[in-house]
Amino acid sequence: MSEVVMPRLSDSMEEGTILTWLKQVGDEIAIGDELVEIETDKANMAYEADTAGTLTEILAQEGETLPIGSPIARIGDGDSANGRSARPAGPVSDSGLSLPGESSESSPPTGEAETADAEGQTAEAKSEGGERVKASPLARRLAEEKGLDLGELHGSGPGGRIVKHDVEEAGAPSSVAPAPSTQPEGAGAALTSAGGTAKGETETRELNKLQQTIARRMAESKATAPHFYLTIEVDMGRAVEARAAIKAAAREGDVVPSFNDMVVKACAIALREFPKANGAYRDGRFELYSRVNVGVAVAAEEALVVPTIFDADQKGLRGIAADTRAVAAKVRDGSVTPPELSGGTFTVSNLGMFGIDEFDAVVNMGQAAILAVGAIREQPAVRDGEIVPAQLMKATLSCDHRILYGAEGAEFLARVRQLLEEPVSLAL
């Protein structure tokens, strides 16, 4: 008898949530079979068995959250060399973590495309072709509550992913006649004035693991890290010209770096020159990192995810641009893996594309600073005593004062501005 336990999938993971059991009690398990889909603080992952035998007992039910190391199932009549009964799907990274986002899903054998539990509910939603349906954890729970088959729904999320709205639309009746009011005229106003229904109907939403992690870490950062902020104005005129030249010279299929890619590259160069900006304060000590890994904030479904551009100081603009687009696409279609979300030493958050001119970002735990980037605006500027049009952008550096002090933060930010105003240096 071998136990399947809740594994640690990243340095920050403390617990995991069982999303879907892909096998049921009594099923024969072969090595490599996907057993269960687990929601971690960074990604949803399918796990494969490394023990052959029969699934004799499921100890953790779908929707249940357990700390790492807790038993979640038992497999009998199998051999296990190391006592572990599950491993992440896909190849193993240098850190020892598997990369489930790179695994290929195979169709189950005939007759196993849909396994029913004791109550007749399906264990896993699949499309007509036998492939697992992509859906958010909240959408899965809602569909189960409403008795809907995810395989029959159309996903409007990234990559065709089924989201909450799709399930609600599918479960809503086509037309519902309003119920006649039994309240006397003016009763609603009286209740509102009394405060009973002043906010209207309240919808309560449970946070998924990622949202819980964001809430906890941001609160911890603001509560424990003494933030201070430095804002600088950057003349992006030459950067605009340089990008236009790169775009004009690009061939079909070439990746054209964005202005944010230029900011990432400028930060990476400056981080190599200012080691404390590429570090963190932890347990009364400075941690200075040898690699420059810049995190790029990406808006995902109801969350903010920060994938990492590794060794950004050693990559050219096109390399940074290609890496950024690849991981951003994975974030949006839900295939990003924990290793791709780990290891950041600094973060760039850009809201310029939303028309935001300036904002203050919260420092990520385990880092010394984060750069908040605004929009590039054509504005009047004084040059040699004359007013001329200029392409100006504001950037605000949020610093953890325990490691990055005022003068050091100012010097770092000035270096970033210098690099952006003379973009030829970004190609070196």
| Domain range summary for the chain, segments of one domain joined by + | 2-121, 221-427
So what's the pLDDT on residue 174? 47
d(CA 190, CA 167): 35
174: its two tokens: 């086509």
So what's the pLDDT on residue 210? 76
- In CATH terms, the fold of domain 221-427 is Chloramphenicol Acetyltransferase (3.30.559)
- Segments of the chain scoring below 50 in pLDDT: 79-125, 127-128, 174-179, 181, 187-195
Nearest to 268 by CA among 208, 214, 305, 323: 323
Nearest to 60 by CA among 14, 99, 3, 12: 3
So what's the pLDDT on residue 84? 41
Mapping DSSP onto H, E and C, the string for the chain reads CEEEECCCCCCCCCEEEEEEECCCCCCEECCCCEEEEEECCCCEEEEECCCCEEEEEECCCCCCEEECCCEEEEEECCCCCCCCCCEECCCECCCCCECHHHCCCCCCCCCCCCCECCCCCECCCECCCCCECCECHHHHHHHHHHCCCHHHCCCCCHHHCECHHHHHHHHCCCCCCCCCCCCCCCHHHHHHHHCCCCCCCCCCCCCCHHHHHHHHHHHHHHHHCCEEEEEEEEECHHHHHHHHHHHHHCCCCCCCCCHHHHHHHHHHHHHHHCHHHHEEEECCEEEECCCCCEEECEEECCEEECCEECCHHHCCHHHHHHHHHHHHHHHHHCCCCHHHHCCCCEEEEECHHHCCCCCCCCCCCCCCEEEEEEEEEEEEEEECCEEEEEEEEEEEEEEECCCCCHHHHHHHHHHHHHHHHCHHHHHC
* pLDDT tens digits along 120-172: 333 344 544 555 677 776 677 778 878 888 888 877 665 566 777 778 777 66
363: its two tokens: 């420092």
So what's the pLDDT on residue 100? 37
**CATH code assigned to 2-121:** 2.40.50.100
* pLDDT tens digits along 350-407: 999 999 999 999 999 999 999 999 999 999 999 999 999 999 999 999 999 999 999 9
Active site residue 401: yes
Give Cβ neighbours of residue 118 (< 8 Å, ≥ 6 apart): none
296: its two tokens: 């790029």
So what's the pLDDT on residue 230? 98
Which candidate in 154, 165, 227, 401 is catalytic?
A: 401
So what's the pLDDT on residue 10? 64
Question: Taking every pair of C-alpha atoms in the chain, what is the biggest distance, in angstroms?
Answer: 85
